[in-house]
Amino acid sequence: KIRVLCAKRDLEGVVEGLYEFGAIHVTRSKQFQPGRPLEKMEAVSPMLVKTRALESAFALERLKVKQTPSGHHGSHSHSLGEMQERLAAIAPEKAEELARRKQTLETRLNDALARKKELAPFKSLRLNVNEIQSRTAFLEFALFEIQQDSGKTLAKAREYGSALMLEEERQKLKMLIAMDKRKGEKARHALAPYAKEVSLPHSASESFAHEYAALEKQISELRLQLSQAESEIRSFVSAHGAGIVSLRKALETEFKKAELPSKFGESELAASAEGWVALNKFHSLENRLKEKLGDRILVEKVQTSEFPPSKLKNPAVLKPFEFMIEFFSLPRYNEIDPTFITALTFPLFFGMILGDIGYGLVLLLLGIAIMRKTTGALKKIGGIMVLSSISTIIFGFIYAEAFGLEKILGFQLHPLLSRVHEEGIEALFALSVLIGFLHVTLGFLLGAWQGVREKHYKHSYAKIAWLAILFGFIAFLANSMQLIFTNYLQFLRVIPSPFDLGLFVAGIAGVVYFEGPVQLMEIPSLFSNVLSYLRIMALGLSGVALASIVASIPLDFASLATLQPGAIISFVLLALLLVVGHAVAIMLGLLEAGIQSLRLHYVEFYSKFYKGGGTQFVPLRED
């Protein structure tokens, strides 16, 4: 952790120096009184609001601006005055008026189109029923939407007055009735089984036909005006769009700079800034600030018991799995980053569960599409899907499964480990238990190593004691109670008697000594953690059963060749059922394999060594 002390008059120079350096996580200073933003924020803020409004109004969010070699769109070198001149050259008031005019025209056009649609059934009616209705005491008009036989409905309506069938609209017939008001209630009751009454539109024009014609003329004029406005907007965007985006980015940078001193501490004459910097970059920061302010600034290291913020550093191929770690909890600065191990074991578990060449290929294509078409968290999920689908394909060859069949493109597959035969299921059972042992053991070993790193040696010894309980008790059961119902589980006899029981007792003594007797209540949970890995086998078997059922749907190509209508319809329906069935199986497999693999890491594995609770390192500026 570092602290920067300077005279208050040099505050802006410190901000510039820190921002140019970039790789510093600024925290709130505990010295002096809370700081205030720079004065220029009052000028920058309204300018930023205007440029953001223009960017939104003209949909410039996706407009790409070429970066300068420095990577800041050339914005960092502009003074506040220059940015004010750039904004004035854009003429924001004129631009806002242009955007408002386009929005107004669009609103008027939509209203006119909606009214035209409402009057469409009456476009040939050369009278105003509202006016006629208001001038007579006995005549009433009603509008119905026909729901049954139109002929019967029309005949029934004419029993009570004059009825006119209006033009069809979206396969719906409407009927206008002119009748004596005294018969209105009876007419509505009689027509209820055949038609539904709807509201009659009001018109201030001399007739519906006249208003409809006027609307068509108005719509043509509005479309012409809107086209002209859009042409002006295209010209404006072509001339100023890139400048608006560039200026917005420059103003955002200046806004961040102006806001930064609010995290500083201030007195009447001095200011203090605090933050976190990588140890190997301390002198680089010090030199950068001294270049700007010389001996008028002091940069010092601060002794503190606080945990530094965390920044994950992994190869690009592992970056997607950082999402899983961050979703759970970011590691503390001195804590083991489990990203690498997770990137190995998560796809392994996923592939073992799903294990199908065809399903793996589908998920591979889906993962690639997600990576290319999305950003942020979804892109990382796509990356996880790509690696997991590769594992699924590999295990598909091991299991000899492709869309639930033991053949692909006419070639017969031969399983190395079959999930449909008893011997293969026994082997998969043993493999799941072995993986559980190894994964839980690795968690305890990492927990012991974490204790050594933190110099919490009692914590390390306790982890080793738990391992002694695990291996001692399982070996004791295997040796003394013949807990070997399959040859594949012979590895459980790894520790011979009587050392197995001695190891178990020693482990219990270690846990009591280092963690207390209450912790012995966790022993059942320890063994359930290992057995929990049997879900790899169980979910895999349920998945292959579903895939086999779907794959058994028969497609009779011989019948299709006859070109009989019944054969064609039957083939199409069965093919559709086959596709939908496999799609459902893939989605269920994706969810089951993903969620359960994630659970095995979060619950069974991370609980042995990982606490998290770290704070994200947020640099002032990304290089």
Residue 489: closest CA among 426, 539, 538: 426
Residue 336: closest CA among 441, 443, 446: 446
**pLDDT grade for 68, boundaries at 50, 70 and 90:** very low
The answer to whether residues 161 and 187 touch, using CB atoms and an 8 Å cutoff, is: yes
The answer to whether residues 181 and 187 touch, using CB atoms and an 8 Å cutoff, is: no
In angstroms, the CA 174 to CA 144 distance is: 6
Residue 438: closest CA among 276, 604, 570: 604
Residue 5: closest CA among 31, 23, 28: 31
In angstroms, the CA 527 to CA 469 distance is: 10
Q: Which residues pair with 162 in a beta bridge?
A: 178
In angstroms, the CA 195 to CA 175 distance is: 9
**pLDDT grade for 207, boundaries at 50, 70 and 90:** confident
**pLDDT grade for 96, boundaries at 50, 70 and 90:** confident
pLDDT for position 76: 47
In angstroms, the CA 494 to CA 497 distance is: 10
In angstroms, the CA 294 to CA 349 distance is: 58
| Structural fold of domain 129-202 | Alpha-Beta Plaits (3.30.70)
Rounded to 5 degrees, φ, ψ at 147 are -120, -15
Give the 3-state secondary structure of residue 171: coil
Helices (H), 298-356: 319-328, 339-354
pLDDT for position 490: 64
Taking residues 384-394, report their average pLDDT: 96
What DSSP string describes 108-168? HHHHHHHHHHHHGGGTT--S-HHHHHHH-SSEEEEEEEE-S-HHHHHHHHTTTEEEEEPPP
Q: Could you tell me the CA-to-CA distances from 381 to 369, 377, 611, 620 in Å, in that order?
A: 11, 6, 23, 27
* 177 sits in which H/E element: strand 174-180
What does the mean pLDDT of the chain come to?
Answer: 87
DSSP assignment letter at 601: I
In angstroms, the CA 161 to CA 165 distance is: 13
Taking residues 458-473, report their average pLDDT: 93
Name the residue with tokens 């059972």. Answer: 429
pLDDT for position 587: 95
Q: Is the pLDDT of residue 74 over 60?
A: no
Q: Is the pLDDT of residue 145 over 90?
A: no
Domain boundaries defined on the chain: 2-91+230-301, 129-202, 316-608
Residue-wise pLDDT tens digits, 553-563:
877 666 766 77
Residue 195: closest CA among 238, 157, 145: 145
Q: Which residues pair with 33 in a beta bridge?
A: 266
Residues with Cβ < 8 Å from 295, sequence gap 6 or more?
Answer: none
The answer to whether residues 264 and 35 touch, using CB atoms and an 8 Å cutoff, is: yes
Span of 304-313, 334-343, 565-574, 594-603 with lowest mean pLDDT:
565-574
**pLDDT grade for 481, boundaries at 50, 70 and 90:** low
Taking residues 407-425, report their average pLDDT: 85
Taking residues 528-548, report their average pLDDT: 93
Q: Could you tell me the CA-to-CA distances from 511 to 3, 458, 605 in Å, in that order?
A: 44, 10, 19
The answer to whether residues 26 and 285 touch, using CB atoms and an 8 Å cutoff, is: no
Rounded to 5 degrees, φ, ψ at 296 are -85, 10
Which conformational region is residue 310 in: left (phi greater than 0), alpha (psi within -120 to 50 degrees), or beta?
beta
Residue-wise pLDDT tens digits, 223-269:
999 999 999 988 988 888 888 898 999 999 999 999 999 999 999 89
**pLDDT grade for 200, boundaries at 50, 70 and 90:** confident
**What is the chain's Cα-based Rg?**
37
Q: Is the pLDDT of residue 479 over 80?
A: no
The dihedral through the CA atoms of 101, 106, 112, 114 has a sign that is negative
β-strands 2-7, 411-412 pairing: unpaired
Taking residues 558-574, report their average pLDDT: 76
Cα-to-chain-centroid distance, residue 217: 47
pLDDT for position 212: 85
Residues with Cβ < 8 Å from 373, sequence gap 6 or more?
Answer: none
The dihedral through the CA atoms of 97, 99, 103, 109 has a sign that is positive
**pLDDT grade for 135, boundaries at 50, 70 and 90:** low
Q: Name the most confidently modeled range: 84-93, 161-170, 437-446, 483-492.
A: 437-446
CA atoms within 13 A on the CB side of 343: 18
Rounded to 5 degrees, φ, ψ at 466 are -65, -35
Token pair for residue 121?
């059934």
**pLDDT grade for 176, boundaries at 50, 70 and 90:** confident
Residue 386: closest CA among 314, 337, 461, 321: 321
Token pair for residue 620?
């002032």
Q: Is the pLDDT of residue 75 over 50?
A: no
Taking residues 292-321, report their average pLDDT: 90
Residue-wise pLDDT tens digits, 598-617:
999 999 999 999 999 899 99
